[in-house]
Amino acid sequence: MARLRILVLGSTGSIGTQTLDLVRLDPGHFEVVGLSAHGSADALLTQVQEFQPRYVALADESQASGLEDQLPSTTTLFRGPDANLEMIEASTFDLAVHGIVGAAGLRPSVAVLKTGARLALANKESLVLGGELLLDLARRMGTVIIPVDSEHCAVHQCLRGEDPSTIRQVILTASGGPFRGKSREELRTVTREQALQHPTWDMGQRITIGSATLMNKALEIIELHHLFGLPAEKIQVAVHPQSVVHSMVEFVDGSVMAQMGPPDMRGPIHFALHYPDRAPAPAQKGFSLELFSNLTFEAPDRGSFPALDMGYECVSQGGTSGAVLNASDEVAVGAFLEGRIPFHAMGELCAEALAARTESSIDVESLLAADGWARKFTEDRIQTKYSGPNAARL
């Protein structure tokens, strides 16, 4: 059987390295055609030496010259801000695993789908910004978006062979993050270090902070809405601290299907790499009494964690609202990690940005313009509120 030709976008990040871990275990199944990174030239070079891809892309121009000299003669380098797009266009591939972080992932998602290849999508921002656009494009090209987000992968699996019109509701599970049970007042004094301690999942920094604010879940509400065409009223969030039930679907007959497993992103990545087949993964653990003996569910505290309401609001508003929420959160999380704003300010800044602007257009240019606007708006608000002479006390 011919090997599956894959691109790994964002190959030095959390999703990218775990993807390559799985590829390494099953080398006869995959051919790595291309790898890309933002600026981690050294890590990328190590991957190139191991996987010998035909193409490699590095977005940060300043890191590119050092890399170019050391590449094997059979590997072509694309460099600069459009490097991913150029690599996607040049490559012949069956599947792209897209683990780029942030709104910068939107154009690569569009580019992959335009080739007709399958898109294994971990970059949730693509869907948060341009879900409508991407789903429409996938339909027109006769291809599919395979979600590489544990919750959405779970829903995808629960829906195999089911008629989507028979969904009563989807229950999106949330770990609740490190601050589950804390009051609004207590959240005013939590630190960056506390926020970065995720109880169950090992993930990138932005998602980890997003789990502490529940903004990650808000973005996942929007993602779920687009992927499966669900209205806001069919999306529930349940806090499930053990992160074993990755999400559930309740059907019109009252039956509830859940997809379960240890909290390990290699599960959803493996599923996406082999979709539509179910392939053996001997190293992946499944059921164990230790893990499954105490599964609990509770309602989220929407007062302490206002992000959830913003997710629902974006589902109702549509247009550029997802782009605005995502961009504002990216800037706010960056400022929080730099110690410039307190924890609770992240939600406040996002709410201000959402209230200030939404447009109905959903073409790539409008979405990215809204993204740019929200970044500037949020940064300006941070300057005014937290760095100026009248700055609020941290």
Q: Is 250 in the site for Mg ion (CB under 5 A)?
A: no
Written as six digits, the tokens of 379 are 């940064």
How far is Cα 98 from Cα 262, in angstroms, rounded to an integer? 22
Phi, psi angles (nearest 5°) of residue 176: 90, -15
Shortest distance, position 220 Cβ to Mg ion, whole Å: 5
Cα distances (angstroms) measured from residue 305 to each of 176, 194, 214, 222, 239:
10, 16, 6, 17, 12
Binders of Mg ion in range 339-358 (CB under 5 A): none
Dihedral sign (CA 180, 183, 186, 188): positive
Binders of Mg ion in range 164-203 (CB under 5 A): none
Q: Among 152, 142, 144, which residue's Cα sits nearest to residue 122?
A: 152
How far is Cα 10 from Cα 17, in angstroms, rounded to an integer? 9
Give the side-chain half-sphere CA count within 13 A for 172. 29
Shortest distance, position 322 Cβ to Mg ion, whole Å: 16
Q: How close are the terminal C-alpha atoms of the chain, in Å? A: 60
Q: Measured from the CB atom, is 149 or 371 closer to Mg ion? A: 149
Q: Among 329, 306, 316, 323, which residue's Cα sits nearest to residue 357?
A: 323
Judged by CB under 5 A, the number of residues near Mg ion is 3
Q: Measured from the CB atom, is 151 or 264 closer to Mg ion? A: 151
Q: Measured from the CB atom, is 150 or 304 closer to Mg ion? A: 150
Shortest distance, position 243 Cβ to Mg ion, whole Å: 10
Q: Among 120, 82, 127, which residue's Cα sits nearest to residue 98?
A: 120
Q: Measured from the CB atom, is 121 or 341 closer to Mg ion? A: 121
Q: Measured from the CB atom, is 31 or 223 closer to Mg ion? A: 223
Q: Using CB under 5 A, pick the residue from 31, 149, 264, 371 that binds Mg ion.
A: 149
Q: Candidates 131-139, 141-149, 225-233, 273-281 — which segment interacts with Mg ion by CB under 5 A?
A: 141-149
Q: Candidates 34-42, 112-120, 143-151, 307-315 — which segment interacts with Mg ion by CB under 5 A?
A: 143-151
Shortest distance, position 204 Cβ to Mg ion, whole Å: 11
Q: Candidates 146-154, 309-317, 359-367, 381-389 — which segment interacts with Mg ion by CB under 5 A?
A: 146-154
Binders of Mg ion in range 151-170 (CB under 5 A): 151
Residue of minimal CB distance from Mg ion?
149
Shortest distance, position 219 Cβ to Mg ion, whole Å: 9
Query: 164: cis peptide before it, omega within 30°?
Result: no
Binders of Mg ion in range 37-96 (CB under 5 A): none
Shortest distance, position 247 Cβ to Mg ion, whole Å: 9
- DSSP assignments along 187-241, one per residue: GGG--HHHHT--SS----HHHHHHHHHSHHHHHHHHHHHHHHT--GGGEEEEE-T
Interface positions with Mg ion (CB under 5 A): 149-151
